Structure 1
Amino acid sequence: MPRPSFSHNPLLRVSRPVSACSRCRAAKVKCDGKLPACTACEKAGRSNECSAANDQFARGKERSYVAALELRIEKLEKRLQFAKSRKASVALHDTDASAFNVQQMDRRDSLALIRAAIHRKAAQKRETSDVNSLVSDFGFLSVNATTRDFEPISTNMTFARLVLAATTNDALPESDQARLPPRQTAHVLVQHYMDNVYSLFPCFSETSLLTALDDIYQEDTRTIKDSDYWMVYMVLAIGSIAQSKRSQDTHYLTGLEYASRAMNHADGALTPGYVTQIQSLLLLTQYAMLDPAHFDSWHLIGFTARAIVDLGFHQDPPSSSVPDKASLDMRRKIFYCVYALDRAISMVHARTFSFTDDTVNVAFPQASSNGRKSSASGPITGPQPADPALLLFQLRRAQSHWYQELYQSGSVPLQDPISYIWKMCLDMREWQDTLPTNLAPEIRQLFDQELRYSYVYCIAPSARAPSITDYNRILIFEHSMAYLDTVHEIAHGAQNSGFYTYHDVLRVYFMANQFLAVLRDAEDMLLSGMPVPIPISRPGAAPAPPLPRRLQPQGMNGEDNLDRSLRCLDKQIKEMPWGGVDLTQMLTVTTPDNTSQELGLEDEGRNTPHV
């Protein structure tokens, strides 16, 4: 227990000195030392004369009791003053300590920021690791798109050789060295690429392409980079093979030759850590979509997505590090070209995306408003007034949202799947309503096909929305039939317009599969044409999608659903040559693992969207 302070509890009596008072000492009697006078002096009536000598006062100069008390009070006052001064000093010390504590708190805040940065970096590393696992497992060989470990100087295994070894189905035929087509022919192929592919995937500057094309045709000793050779040859290859209507026709063989020449520059074009690597991989992915016999587009887009993440293109850079708006806009275009292809390829193969939308923080690029520059040596025309690429990016973002929710988020059914699906259909329908009226006809037709495919894909039964209503069956019936009829028209057109690839063959299979599935489930209801009331949505929810307008040939307005169904299926049986792939061969489609598989439409499961 702490001892009480003496200053707060002073002694009220003063002890008598040890020595006897002067009268008792003189009388030689015992003195009891009582104050203010001893007992002997009181009995003798001499209390006033009782005084004692002590260590402080000499004999004969003793002070009285009152004087002793005054002295005691003086000492106590001094002690009290000292205590107050000490308390003030302690308070000042506490102020300094509080300032020190504030500094410590600031320091702790800075440490918290550092820890948060470390956690963010760790999350980025985890994301990179996840993307790594999606690309492929190459055993002990580590693939890092920002390292120089794959330089030919340090090892015989270059990154290009690794990519080609992992993604090649059949080797390309050997080609003669550097035999360019006539310049006019090259410009025709470049123009076809610009109109049908570049308008959707502007992954490089058109000026750089035209400059590289002019440099290659110049007969001088100027140095041309491997990435420029790769870009020119791959554009020629894509522009040629995209016009092919049958396997092994002239356009296909010519495109094959250009692609083979591009492979001579693969080591330099696919060097890791540069933007040209992403652009070169994008071109190779586009070519693989047209030539699945030689390249696997799904693994290629996986490599491309890995390079995008490693170079940080999936995040917009800080404004302080952006050199100019044009560079930032091109960076965003490159990212969304990879994003759009990754979403389309993953959906058509019913596989997971290379990266989720949660990891993406990139604004859409600006809509291109200026016309394309013409080459001084060739008839390169201007662009379309609208920007199809930006429209495609927006549609892919919408598709990505519902695909991740319905097909990549587990198997627990949604609480209200019908309302969710109708909301997604409403979002895509609103996107369609905002399409500009000056879109090129082939681009609008391509977007219409994308929407029909998206409607059927979103409405079809899935793990999170397993049930389906009769109204949804009618929607699938009408959209899939319209899609298949339009595909037949495109395949029998005079020339190939738009960017249609091997993946559209897989989409035809998917749409035909869904068409037959709803016929099996509700044959009588669909073929009889019996009207089904439009479901009433709950308050605040999106309305049910409207039924599509029927695409009927002239003179066939009285055709019933049975005749329409038979006519649609009959078209799919007939020969439909397209892009080097016969659409009637979809019953024996080469799967991404390079194995032939019988696809028996009548036996395919409803919850398996694609092969």
Structure 2
Amino acid sequence: MTLARSSLADTPLLKVSRPVSACSRCRTAKVKCDNKLPACTACERAGREKECTAANDQFARGKERSYVAALELRIEKLERRLAYARSTKASVALHGPEEPPPPDPNRKDSMAFIRAAIHRKAARTQENADINTLVSDFGYLAVNTTTRDFEPSESNMTFARLVLAASTNEPVPEPRTTALPAEPTARALVQHYETNILPLYPVFPAATLHALASDLYQDHPRPVRSSESWLFWMVLAIASAAQSRTRQDEHYANAVEFVGRALPHADRALKPGYVTQIQSLLLLTQYAMLDPAHFDSWHPIGFACRAVVDQGLHQDPPHAQEVDLETLDTRRRTFYCVYALDRAISMVHARSFSFYDAAVSVSLPSPAMAAVAPPPDASLPLFKLRQIQSDWYQALYQGDPIQPLPDAAGFIWQKYFDMWEWSERLPADLPPAIREMLDLELRYSYVYCVASSARGARLTSYGRLLIFEHVVSYVDRIYEVASQQPVHDGGGVGSVGSVGAFYTYHDALRVFFMGSQFIAALRDDADLILSGTPVAPPVTAPGNVSAPPLPMRLDRGGGDNLDRSLRCLDRVKMTLELYGQRWEDALSLMESFDVISAEVRAALESRRGVRDAVASGGAVGLGVPATGTGQWQQPGPGDV
């Protein structure tokens, strides 16, 4: 009995109880049609089963035979699509071309010919759409970045095309010329990259870059590999975009031109399974951070993280395996460059990291060998800060929000203290521009760590005062950075400017975040903050790090906290407006900030009107409470 039921379930008797319309052949012949499926009796007797409506999907428009028949044909179509998808997947796994399975020679029905014709006509135009659909949510895409399935010689679906389809926001225009830029221009751009970006992300030696430039500008240049061409053009693009100040200036136009020159080399530069693949992905990520109109940095850094894990760079080699120190340091530098960018990009977008710290077992590279530019090496301090940030970000923002940390306040103050201690140990001879950038990163981290989170402690008035002070200092200084204009050294387009370090569109996102936290602090505790009344730090449990002291006031504008608040709101808006000249999305951030700050701004302006009307006294300064207890020392954390 069980077998009979199973058989009926597999091949059900399909019968239409109430015919709506005859099949096309019966209707033409004007004979009675019993609408039996898959072919009616008249067609079956005439040997025309495959011409019956049920076999070739041709319903009379508006006269479908039945709802059941429509559903059955829908199932048939889906089954055909599923069979085709399975055959395509099998062909890719066997490194074969992406073609549909050959039709059975014994079958000559119309569907086989139609399918072949559709594939021939639509394969090329549909391929890009298929790739975009495939990577629409890269978080669910499992791609082994060391596989040979994406070799350019084997398939039109190369790994580079997959990366670019996921990362591209707007197509890059075709290059205007095929000639090399003037050698002084190229040298100046290489120098800018080496001075301001390579010390932070030393993914390749500076000597490699200089040797490559020298080879290209010889009278008889040697043949250059695709990965080297990608390196050269992307470095020029990054350095040029870093010096741009508006979307219409020559620096930005040159950057887009240089990227266009690099893209033809993408297939080989991003070839899976090699360290050059990771280097190339990092260069694409850095450029995307400077040009969000054309590329989204989230996807290339995700691919880079996957490549690092697939190639095993997230683990140091076993002790039994003998590896020379230079090779080991190269592995470690490559990993931590990916690690640092992944942490920075994930935090600024409030997204999860590509991999957890628990999966990582890589020592920091040695300072002596990590210094690819003139000492000191700025990458090691950055890597260490990213490790601290990663620790508290995973605990506060990536853990289960239903389960708060057992001692959230103690955890936050400990991480705050770790970052302060890191700042105290920064090398004294760091370049001023890089030191300024690291200090801005530190204040951003202070606010991010202390701010309200699902697993953090309840934000106290003292925590809001900390946020207030750090945001005011941060905004004053980032406004000055955004206002600076490059001062060229006479080397023409691309010459080294005075604005150093590596500032990107993500700094606009950080400004918006800091401004939002500032608004939240004032909305929740305006009376206390604006009064300037000293607040005692919260008492911590025995054995825990004490709460930090309020930082020393470093803003140069003066005035009481009311004046400082209004000036801070103005400068958040002005900074986003300046960044909006470079990145259009920053203007949207400015408009959003206008909306969320309108109520607080109106209240502050009303307070100032009342204050000015009743008194003309001086500003009331915000005192620094005497909290020299525990592990802290004056001056306050973050003061550089």
TM-score, normalised with respect to structure 1: 0.70
CA contact (8 A) 1:536 1:544 kept: yes
Q: Give, in angstroms, the shift of residue 567 of structure 1.
A: 1.2
Inter-CA distance 322–228: structure 2 relative to 1 (3 Å threshold): farther
Residue of structure 2 in register with 1:206 after alignment: 206
CA contact (8 A) 1:135 1:306 kept: no
CA contact (8 A) 2:291 2:583 kept: no
Residue of structure 2 in register with 1:401 after alignment: 391
Q: Secondary structure at the match of 1:432?
A: helix
Matches of 1:405 and 1:371 in 2, distance apart? 32
Matches of 1:493 and 1:362 in 2, distance apart? 38
Q: Give, in angstroms, the shift of residue 586 of structure 1.
A: 3.6
Matches of 1:475 and 1:584 in 2, distance apart? 32
Q: Give, in angstroms, the shift of residue 245 of structure 1.
A: 1.2
Q: Secondary structure at the match of 1:436?
A: coil
Residue of structure 1 in register with 2:481 after alignment: 490
Bigger drift between 301-310 and 578-587 goes to: 578-587
Inter-CA distance 505–428: structure 2 relative to 1 (3 Å threshold): same
CA contact (8 A) 1:516 1:602 kept: yes
Q: Secondary structure at the match of 2:336?
A: helix
Residue of structure 2 in register with 1:325 after alignment: 325
Inter-CA distance 167–178: structure 2 relative to 1 (3 Å threshold): same
Q: Give, in angstroms, the shift of residue 321 of structure 1.
A: 3.6
Residue of structure 2 in register with 1:357 after alignment: 357
Inter-CA distance 312–578: structure 2 relative to 1 (3 Å threshold): farther
Residue of structure 1 in register with 2:244 after alignment: 244
Matches of 2:515 and 2:592 in 1, distance apart? 17
CA contact (8 A) 2:270 2:281 kept: yes
Residue of structure 1 in register with 2:573 after alignment: 573
Matches of 2:260 and 2:545 in 1, distance apart? 51
Residue of structure 1 in register with 2:262 after alignment: 262
TM-score, normalised with respect to structure 2: 0.67
Q: Give, in angstroms, the shift of residue 603 of structure 1.
A: 9.5
Give the letter aligned to residue 544 of structure 2.
A
Residue of structure 1 in register with 2:412 after alignment: 421
Matches of 1:219 and 1:330 in 2, distance apart? 32
Residue of structure 2 in register with 1:471 after alignment: 462
Does residue 344 of structure 1 match 2:335? no
CA contact (8 A) 1:575 1:583 kept: no
Matches of 1:169 and 1:336 in 2, distance apart? 27
Q: Give, in angstroms, the shift of residue 347 of structure 1.
A: 0.4
Matches of 1:475 and 1:258 in 2, distance apart? 44
Note the 1:429-578 alignment, pairs <5 A: 429-495=420-486, 496-553=499-556, 556-557=557-558, 559-574=559-574
CA contact (8 A) 2:580 2:586 kept: no
Give the letter aligned to residue 285 of structure 2.
T
Deviations 1:527-586 (A, max 9, x none): 111111122322110011121111232xx54x1000111111122333666567558964
Matches of 1:285 and 1:248 in 2, distance apart? 22
CA contact (8 A) 1:332 1:365 kept: yes
Residue of structure 2 in register with 1:38 after alignment: none
Inter-CA distance 575–389: structure 2 relative to 1 (3 Å threshold): closer
Q: Give, in angstroms, the shift of residue 481 of structure 1.
A: 1.1
Inter-CA distance 501–321: structure 2 relative to 1 (3 Å threshold): same
Q: Give, in angstroms, the shift of residue 600 of structure 1.
A: 3.6
Residue of structure 2 in register with 1:182 after alignment: 182
Q: Give, in angstroms, the shift of residue 300 of structure 1.
A: 1.0
Note the 1:161-176 alignment, pairs <5 A: 161-176=161-176
Give the letter aligned to residue 160 of structure 1.
A
Q: Give, in angstroms, the shift of residue 466 of structure 1.
A: 4.9
Residue of structure 2 in register with 1:386 after alignment: 376
Deviations 1:172-229 (A, max 9, x none): 0110453211111111111111111101000012222122212222232622100000
Q: Secondary structure at the match of 1:473?
A: helix
CA contact (8 A) 1:316 1:363 kept: yes
Give the letter aligned to residue 533 of structure 2.
M
Matches of 2:534 and 2:378 in 1, distance apart? 37
CA contact (8 A) 2:159 2:270 kept: yes
Does residue 219 of structure 1 match 2:219? yes
Q: Give, in angstroms, the shift of residue 368 of structure 1.
A: 3.5
Inter-CA distance 302–180: structure 2 relative to 1 (3 Å threshold): same
Q: Give, in angstroms, the shift of residue 135 of structure 1.
A: 8.3
Inter-CA distance 182–431: structure 2 relative to 1 (3 Å threshold): same
CA contact (8 A) 2:215 2:221 kept: no
Matches of 2:585 and 2:195 in 1, distance apart? 29
Residue of structure 2 in register with 1:44 after alignment: none
Residue of structure 2 in register with 1:120 after alignment: none
CA contact (8 A) 2:333 2:370 kept: no
Inter-CA distance 177–331: structure 2 relative to 1 (3 Å threshold): farther
Q: Give, in angstroms, the shift of residue 499 of structure 1.
A: 0.3
Residue of structure 1 in register with 2:231 after alignment: 231
Give the letter aligned to residue 190 of structure 2.
V
Q: Secondary structure at the match of 2:172?
A: coil
Matches of 1:585 and 1:152 in 2, distance apart? 35
Q: Secondary structure at the match of 1:184?
A: helix
Which gives a bigger RCO, structure 1 or 2 (Cα 8 Å, sep 6+)?
1
Inter-CA distance 327–500: structure 2 relative to 1 (3 Å threshold): same
Residue of structure 1 in register with 2:596 after alignment: 601
CA contact (8 A) 1:491 1:577 kept: no
Deviations 1:63-120 (A, max 9, x none): xxxxxxxxxxxxxxxxxxxxxxxxxxxxxxxxxxxxxxxxxxxxxxxxxxxxxxxxxx
Give the letter aligned to residue 465 of structure 1.
G
CA contact (8 A) 2:364 2:380 kept: yes
CA contact (8 A) 1:135 1:299 kept: no
Note the 1:53-68 alignment, pairs <5 A: none
State the percentage of identical aligned residues: 54
Which runs of 5 or more structure 1 residues have no equivalent in the other structure?
A: 1-133, 373-382, 591-595, 605-611
Q: Secondary structure at the match of 2:367?
A: coil
Residue of structure 1 in register with 2:304 after alignment: 304
Which runs of 5 or more structure 2 residues have no equivalent in the other structure?
A: 1-133, 487-498, 600-640
Inter-CA distance 410–253: structure 2 relative to 1 (3 Å threshold): same
Deviations 1:300-352 (A, max 9, x none): 11000000000000000124444421111011000000000000000000000
Q: Secondary structure at the match of 2:197?
A: helix
Inter-CA distance 405–370: structure 2 relative to 1 (3 Å threshold): closer
Q: Secondary structure at the match of 1:272?
A: coil
Residue of structure 2 in register with 1:314 after alignment: 314
